[in-house]
Amino acid sequence: MTAQSIAGPAIRVQGLVKSYGKLEVLRGVDFDVARGSIFALLGSNGAGKTTIVRILATLLKADAGTAGVNGFDVATQPANVRESISLTGQFAAVDEILSGRENLVLVAKLRHLKDPGAIADDLLRRFSLTDAATRRASTYSGGMRRRLDIAMSLIGNPPVIFLDEPTAGLDPEARIEVWQTVKELASHGTTVLLTTQYLGEAEHLADRIAILHQGRIIANGTLDELKQLLPPATVEYVEKQPTLEEIFLAIIGDDDPRDTAGTTTRNRG
Amino acid sequence: MTAYFFADTGVLTGRTLRHVTRSMDTIITTVITPIAMMLMFVYVFGGAIDTGPIHYIDYMLPGILLVTVASGISYTAYRLFADMKSGIFERFQSMPIARSGVLWAHVVTSLVANLISLVIVVAVALLMGFRSGAGVLEWLAVAGILLLFTLALTWIAVIPGLSATSFEGASAFAYPLMFLPFVSSAFVPTESMPGPVRWFAENQPVTSIVNTIRDLFALQPVGDTIWIALAWCAGILVVAYVFAIAAYRRKIA
């Protein structure tokens, strides 16, 4: 069911402008996202991240500028855009009254796929939700719900996935689970546009990072390119101090602590 | 995309119907108000109300059925608002489906849920002594009018369901609708009301609908009243639909 893949960037945004009444949310946003990459839109609350995602997902019309997804224009070819994407909302949009399996079957049916039951069972296995398959989603923990949410987005293999604040409100363990899922997605060629206000998340996951501030992209590049915007780092040797997160994960027995422990800290300017 | 309109609407209706069958308390709270009113009117006030040769419960059941629908559609607004708030409405709207199917699923579910409530209320009325000589045709006509009335009120319910900012706001609109039968021929004959009130009572939609259903139950000729009743229902339906679609366009590009 996915639309034909078309050459060029997976997402192209040019001169995007959007106001709510007198409040200018987007004031000329430009960026491209390469196919198969993870692109992070970084910004504080109210910077306009969600507005961009809503425009790209054909839920909102821009006042000016153009946006294309998978080669299709969001304003003139919205049906093709919807064939190409999946959206996971800021608040995990799962049906709380249905079971996890029923949620997956529902999406598979709406995407007109053959054998929705088998698709659901496969995803339940992949996302370690088989044991909870028949329980109502309202009984799930935050991390399980987010996994279900992402699993629902994968049905039909859309080439572009929007993750709007995928780890907001999750505990560290659940956050790492989501990060692993996102990395896996990109390794299979899916383009991921991720919005986040957690700097560590963008640093950890993204191939490119754009910083959205007051309705404009004020920086856009790889992490190394962004680092060069600042004066050269000076190297200082300091005693290795574990972060609270590492301590937390070590104590609760997570055997896969992130490799964020560093023996050096960069002391800028 | 429209090729899938019926398939998509069917799938989405299956989902919302599960919301009803998995929270039967919404059906119970829907029917409890009309049943309590029926008990009060029949066993407390009814003896003092002169409805001529017709038994009081036979007189007031049509009005109670309209109260049941008015009470039921507040859950239509509630369910739609819950979908808006949770974000699942947007998830569906960003998928390659017939988008209007999301609304129609709520509308069909509203019709089914109200039908269940109406059957329960009629069953209680039968236990309390309601009797009608109506045959299959008359019952079908009553069902048809109630269905059209439910459809009209359902589209009214879609408006707050889409545009409310709180659960209270989404369902509060139903209270004035539940009150409307009181200022009509539903529970007392309009002849006893003072001038302006009587004029309002005799010219508002509930009276023509109630009189039509009452005549159908009593095997009396319905005359022009049925056309006035149908015109009211159709008129409300069209106006509510236009406003509901406008509210929908404001929410979704």
Three-state DSSP string of A101-161: HHHHHHHHHHCCCCCHHHHHHHHHHHCCCHHHCCCEHHHCCHHHHHHHHHHHHHCCCCCEE
Q: Which of A61, A98, A152 sits opposite B18 (nearest CB)?
A: A98
Residue B169 has pLDDT above 60, yes or no: yes
The Cα B244–Cα B159 span in angstroms is 5
- Position B253 scores a pLDDT of 63
The Cα B157–Cα A238 span in angstroms is 64
Same domain, A96 and A193: yes
Same domain, A95 and A192: yes
Are B65 and B46 within 8 A, CB to CB? Answer: no
Provide the residue range defining the domain that includes A128.
11-229
CATH number at A181 reads 3.40.50.300
Are B192 and B45 within 8 A, CB to CB? Answer: no
Residue A25 counted as domain residue: yes
Same domain, A196 and A261: no
A109 interfaces chain B, CB cutoff of 8 Å? yes
Same domain, A95 and A177: yes
Q: What's the predicted TM-score (pTM) here?
A: 0.86
Alpha-carbon distance A151 to nearest alpha carbon in chain B (angstroms): 13
The tokens 């987007």 sit on which residue? A26
Domains of chain A: total? 2
Q: Which of A89, A96, A112 sits opposite B90 (nearest CB)?
A: A89
Residue A259 counted as domain residue: yes
What's the distance, CA B230 to chain centroid?
Answer: 14
Same domain, A161 and A265: no
pLDDT tens digits for range A80-110: 999 999 998 676 689 999 999 999 999 999 9
pLDDT tens digits for range A207-266: 999 999 888 998 888 888 887 777 776 777 777 788 888 888 888 775 554 444 444 444
The Cα A254–Cα A165 span in angstroms is 24
Q: Give me the residues of A, 64-103, that contact B with CB < 8 A.
A: 78-79, 82-83, 85-98, 102
Residue A5 counted as domain residue: no
Same domain, A74 and A109: yes
Among the listed residues B155, B77, B148, the one whose alpha carbon sits nearest the alpha carbon of residue B115: B148
Residue A247 counted as domain residue: yes
The tokens 């009130």 sit on which residue? B197
Alpha-carbon distance A221 to nearest alpha carbon in chain B (angstroms): 28
The ipTM of this complex is: 0.86
Q: Quickly state the pLDDT bin for B189 (edges 50, 70, 90).
A: confident
**Around Cβ A187, how many Cβ atoms within 10 Å?**
10
Residue A6 counted as domain residue: no
Residue A4 counted as domain residue: no
Among the listed residues A122, A67, A84, the one whose alpha carbon sits nearest the alpha carbon of residue A3: A84
Under the phi-then-psi rule, with left for phi > 0, alpha for psi from -120 to 50, and beta for the rest, what region is B219?
A: left
Residue B22 to residue A97, Cβ atoms within 8 A: yes
Residue A110 to residue B95, Cβ atoms within 8 A: yes
Nearest residue on chain B to A84, alpha-carbon basis: B96
Same domain, A195 and A266: no
The DSSP output letter for A87 is E
A114 interfaces chain B, CB cutoff of 8 Å? no
Sheet of A208-213, strand order: A85-88, A160-164, A191-196, A38-42, A208-213, A216-221
Enumerate the residues of chain A whose CB falls inside 8 A of the CB of residue B18: 97-98, 102
Same domain, A173 and A243: no
Q: Which of A83, A94, A98 sits opposite B96 (nearest CB)?
A: A83
Same domain, A222 and A238: no
Q: Which of B87, B90, B96 sits opposite A111 (nearest CB)?
A: B96
Alpha-carbon distance B4 to nearest alpha carbon in chain A (angstroms): 9
Alpha-carbon distance B95 to nearest alpha carbon in chain A (angstroms): 5
Q: Quick one: tokens of A19?
A: 């106001």
Same domain, A102 and A161: yes
pLDDT tens digits for range A41-64: 988 888 888 899 999 999 999 999
**Around Cβ B155, how many Cβ atoms within 10 Å?**
24
Q: Which of B4, B88, B253 sits opposite A59 (nearest CB)?
A: B253
Residue A1 counted as domain residue: no
At residue B33, what is the residue type?
Answer: T
Among the listed residues A6, A1, A16, the one whose alpha carbon sits nearest the alpha carbon of residue A191: A6
Residue A172 has pLDDT above 60, yes or no: yes
Among the listed residues B201, B206, B212, B213, the one whose alpha carbon sits nearest the alpha carbon of residue B232: B206
Same domain, A75 and A164: yes
The Cα B104–Cα B168 span in angstroms is 23
At residue A183, what is the residue type?
Answer: K
Q: Quick one: tokens of B84?
A: 């808006």
Alpha-carbon distance A199 to nearest alpha carbon in chain B (angstroms): 25
Residue B91 to residue A89, Cβ atoms within 8 A: yes
* Residue B192 or A130, more confident: A130
Q: Which distant-in-sequence residues (6+ apart) come within 8 Å of B178 by Cβ?
A: B33, B67, B70, B71
Task: Quickly list H helices, chain B.
Answer: 5-21, 25-40, 56-86, 88-93, 101-127, 136-163, 167-172, 174-179, 195-203, 205-217, 225-251
- Position B233 scores a pLDDT of 94
Beta strands at A11-20 and A64-69: parallel, antiparallel or unpaired: antiparallel
Residue A47 counted as domain residue: yes
Same domain, A212 and A268: no
Q: Which of A51, A70, A97 to mutate to probe the B interface, most B CBs <10 Å?
A: A97
Residue B86 to residue A82, Cβ atoms within 8 A: no
